Amino acid sequence: MTVPAPRPGGEQFSHSGAKQYAQIWTSAVAQSGFLPMSSAETEQLLFGHTLDLAQAFLARPFTARPAYHVGRALVDAHLAGSKVIDWSVRALGEQFFAAILPGRRQTRTVRQRISSLQGQLAAGFAQALRDRTFVQQERISRSAWAARDMAEQALRESEARFRAVFAGAATGIGIADINGRIVDVNQHFAEMLGYSIPELRQINVAELFHEDDAAGMWELYTDLVQGRHDTARVEKRYYRKDGSIIWTNVSVSLIRHDDGRPRWTLAMVEDITDRHDLQERLRFQALHDPLTGLPNRTRFFEQLDAVFAAAKPDDRIGVCVLDLDGFKRVNGGLGHDIGDQVLTVVAQRLSDYVAGRGHLVGRVGGDKFVILIERSSGTQEVVAMAQASLGVVAQPIRLDDHQLTVTASIGVVEGPVAETAPVDLIKAADTTLYWAKAEGRGRYTVYDPLRDEREKAKTDLVAALPAALERGEFTVDYQPIVALADGTVQAVEALVRWEHPELGLLGPDRFIGLAEETGLIVRLGRWVLHRACEDASNWRRQFPDRRIVVSVNLAARQAQEPGIAAEVSDALKRAGLPAELLQLELTESAVMTTAGEPLLALHQLAELGVRLAVDDFGTGYSNLAYLRRLPIHSLKLAGPFVEGLRSDEPTSRVDEQIVDALVRLAHALGLSVTAEAVERAEQAERLRALGCDTGQGRYFSEPVNAAGIVAMLATREAGVIGDRLEL
């Protein structure tokens, strides 16, 4: 017997609950009839199994395998009646859970574990039974050979001896001639089939074959009577006289004339109907979800594999993966009973609609269903199925004291069978389901291979980011920010790049967003900040009079880090850079938190003495009145405003007025203004005329590396960019 080992940190189950469960289990087994052991011994045994199941249930990582062994052990202990296994599988659900973890709620994981345990228990039981049947068959067939030898002997010798062999046999025995006409049967055989012996003597064996077996049986029979084989063993159905069916194990052997010509066939027949029914029932249980009765995951994949195996070259296939929206809230808010009822109703509706049209619908997860469209005629058919399914799910659900409505999201995949494999098909459907959820739920989305590829590429990029940072694959370029009045370089903006070993040089637009989503921006941004401060410190040493400011972009996520001010101060100290030579660029959304409050760290940063700029100004929704009270030093006018200044079209008048107003407003608030994306002389000129302070863009210089900035500061003696800078 297994004793529960204390599992460090793991959850414990109730030992007394397990004891009680074993007691109930024992009495259920006892009620099913025959007990091969004493009641106390049985209870002892079942208690051991209960402990094994409870441990398996809580084990991390979870595996349902121990339940398989319990199933086998039950058969080995001769607790193999169909009622025993029925009870054992059913009770392993609610009853078992309530016993070992009293008062605990059933989560989705719990249910999944329970049904895996149930499935494995049934599977172990069924396998052990199959093994046992096999052993029995071996025994029977051995005795059949003995009987055959005797019968052969008897037939040759005398009718009287033959009868004696026949009559006493505990197996059904029948003899037919090579045309299938029944010559004789024993009482056991006749009873099995519900005929009298004389009636059977009038019958051809073929009349007893079940039509589904008939073809194969004939072949076998022909092989035998033509002397190609001497023996055959099959599991087959027979019709009884009343039309009902029995399942049998049949061993047929050939009896020859003395000269070797086939003479008779001798069949030994054993009735295995009960065992067969039980196995069918177990198979059903192993392949169906106990709550809704729908095919389960195993059954679904079995069918999917079968479809792929049997597919013709042009066959198409469709799959809808359906998941209820916000089902957790139903379970959490209304309780698991209601949750179960909702699932049952949804399953019933899907089954009526989908299965009613000849397609398979299965439950493959807590609130996840799948529809299989074999030999689909095209995407349209599968989409129609998805739409209809959304419709039936969304009908109001009336329960005893509740009426509620749930919606579902569906991922749809359809295509030629030849171009995919079962796992890929399901993976694609799951991905698409995720898109449908992300796009707002209550809808279906159709799989798009290009989108999948793009997203995979994105994921790969995210995954490669941390190692790339370690390996030093990032670099920083600097773009000059120039005084519009005299063309002198006032500052440079640090812009990060990724020298990707396979994809080449990647601009920040390819990876900054991802780095923000994953939080890696904090490490990446820290690296850029240090690099930029060091480069700026070098320029300061080489050009002490120039006081070039380095402007570093600060992502929202970075700015919200609690230690950001200390971080910036540390970077300045390490590089030996005075604070006033560092500017931090924050977007409007980063300056204001989502709650509409200004960023907490803003004042701390300003107190360090660094400059603060609002990046891409005009693309967000800044509260201008607020800006007044914040320690901001400058605004960077977003590219689109500047773009409007390049032509003489009427719209450019409007843009000019906007820029004019913005510059005036900024100046009134004591802020300087930098125009971004200045690409042409005429834009630079108009910006200057409007009183804009500085400009940045291709017109002055593309971003260049740190050495490029040194070259620029050195060759242009005063660092003046009089006209377009050529490098």
In the complex, the residues that contact ligand C2E under the rule CB under 6 A are 479, 494-496, 507-509, 512, 525, 528, 553, 555, 585, 615-616, 639, 676-677, 679, 697-698, 703
Residue 677 beta carbon to Mg ion: minimum distance, rounded to whole angstroms: 8
| Cα 83 from chain centroid (whole Å) | 36
Burial call 461-491: b when 16+ CB within 10 Å, e when fewer: beebbeebbeeebbebbbbbbbbbeebbbbb
Closer residue to Mg ion in complex, CB, 52/616? 616
Sheet holding 245-256, edge to edge: 182-185, 172-177, 262-271, 245-256, 231-239
Residue 716 beta carbon to ligand C2E: minimum distance, rounded to whole angstroms: 19
Pinpoint the alpha helices (H) of 543-600.
556-559, 564-575, 588-591
Closer residue to Mg ion in complex, CB, 339/639? 639
Residue 591 beta carbon to Mg ion: minimum distance, rounded to whole angstroms: 13
94 half-sphere exposure, CB direction, 13 A CA radius = 5
Angstrom distances, CA of residue 370 to CA of 1, 150, 308, 320: 41, 58, 17, 6
Closer residue to ligand C2E in complex, CB, 345/549? 549
Residue 501 beta carbon to ligand C2E: minimum distance, rounded to whole angstroms: 20
Return residues touching Mg ion (CB under 5 A): 553, 585, 615-616, 676
Closer residue to ligand C2E in complex, CB, 285/696? 696
From the list Mg ion, ligand C2E, none, partner contacted by residue 152 (C-beta under 5 to 8 A by kind): none
Instruction: Return d(Cα 207, Cα 193) in angstroms, integer.
Output: 12
Residue 525 beta carbon to ligand C2E: minimum distance, rounded to whole angstroms: 5
Instruction: Return d(Cα 232, Cα 250) in angstroms, integer.
Output: 8
Q: Which amino acid is at 269?
A: V
Sheet holding 360-365, edge to edge: 360-365, 368-373, 316-324, 408-416, 444-446
Residues 6+ apart with CB under 8 A from 488: 482, 718, 719, 720, 721
Residue 511 beta carbon to ligand C2E: minimum distance, rounded to whole angstroms: 9
**Residues 248, 269 contacting (CB under 8 angstroms):** yes
Residue 616 beta carbon to Mg ion: minimum distance, rounded to whole angstroms: 4
From the list ligand C2E, Mg ion, none, partner contacted by residue 679 (C-beta under 5 to 8 A by kind): ligand C2E
From the list ligand C2E, Mg ion, none, partner contacted by residue 698 (C-beta under 5 to 8 A by kind): ligand C2E
Residue 15 beta carbon to ligand C2E: minimum distance, rounded to whole angstroms: 56
Residue 548 beta carbon to Mg ion: minimum distance, rounded to whole angstroms: 16
From the list ligand C2E, Mg ion, none, partner contacted by residue 289 (C-beta under 5 to 8 A by kind): none
**Residues 147, 173 contacting (CB under 8 angstroms):** yes
**Residues 701, 727 contacting (CB under 8 angstroms):** yes
Closer residue to Mg ion in complex, CB, 120/674? 674
Instruction: Return d(Cα 552, Cα 491) in angstroms, integer.
Output: 11
From the list ligand C2E, Mg ion, none, partner contacted by residue 455 (C-beta under 5 to 8 A by kind): none
Q: Which residues pair with 495 in a beta bridge?
A: 477
**Residues 322, 409 contacting (CB under 8 angstroms):** yes
Closer residue to ligand C2E in complex, CB, 509/717? 509
From the list Mg ion, ligand C2E, none, partner contacted by residue 104 (C-beta under 5 to 8 A by kind): none
From the list Mg ion, ligand C2E, none, partner contacted by residue 639 (C-beta under 5 to 8 A by kind): ligand C2E
Closer residue to ligand C2E in complex, CB, 205/599? 599
Residues 6+ apart with CB under 8 A from 332: none
From the list Mg ion, ligand C2E, none, partner contacted by residue 266 (C-beta under 5 to 8 A by kind): none
What element of type H or E holds 636?
strand 634-637
Residue 493 beta carbon to Mg ion: minimum distance, rounded to whole angstroms: 6
Give the number of other CB atoms < 10 A from CB of residue 527: 15
Closer residue to ligand C2E in complex, CB, 178/592? 592
Q: Which of 518, 581, 575 is nearest to 546 (CA)?
A: 581
Task: Tokens for 705, please give them.
Answer: 């590396």
Q: Which residues pair with 35 in a beta bridge?
A: none
Residue 524 beta carbon to ligand C2E: minimum distance, rounded to whole angstroms: 7
Phi-psi region of 440 (alpha: psi -120 to 50; beta: other; left: phi over 0): left
Residue 380 beta carbon to Mg ion: minimum distance, rounded to whole angstroms: 46
Residue 341 beta carbon to Mg ion: minimum distance, rounded to whole angstroms: 55
Closer residue to ligand C2E in complex, CB, 585/655? 585
| Cα 12 from chain centroid (whole Å) | 29
From the list Mg ion, ligand C2E, none, partner contacted by residue 365 (C-beta under 5 to 8 A by kind): none
**Residues 693, 469 contacting (CB under 8 angstroms):** no
From the list ligand C2E, Mg ion, none, partner contacted by residue 545 (C-beta under 5 to 8 A by kind): none
From the list ligand C2E, Mg ion, none, partner contacted by residue 55 (C-beta under 5 to 8 A by kind): none
From the list ligand C2E, Mg ion, none, partner contacted by residue 332 (C-beta under 5 to 8 A by kind): none
Closer residue to ligand C2E in complex, CB, 126/481? 481
Closer residue to ligand C2E in complex, CB, 275/636? 636
Q: Which amino acid is at 431?
A: T
- DSSP per residue, 325-377: TTHHHHHHHH-HHHHHHHHHHHHHHHHHHHGGGT-EEEEEETTEEEEEETT--
Closer residue to Mg ion in complex, CB, 174/695? 695
From the list Mg ion, ligand C2E, none, partner contacted by residue 677 (C-beta under 5 to 8 A by kind): ligand C2E
Closer residue to Mg ion in complex, CB, 585/655? 585
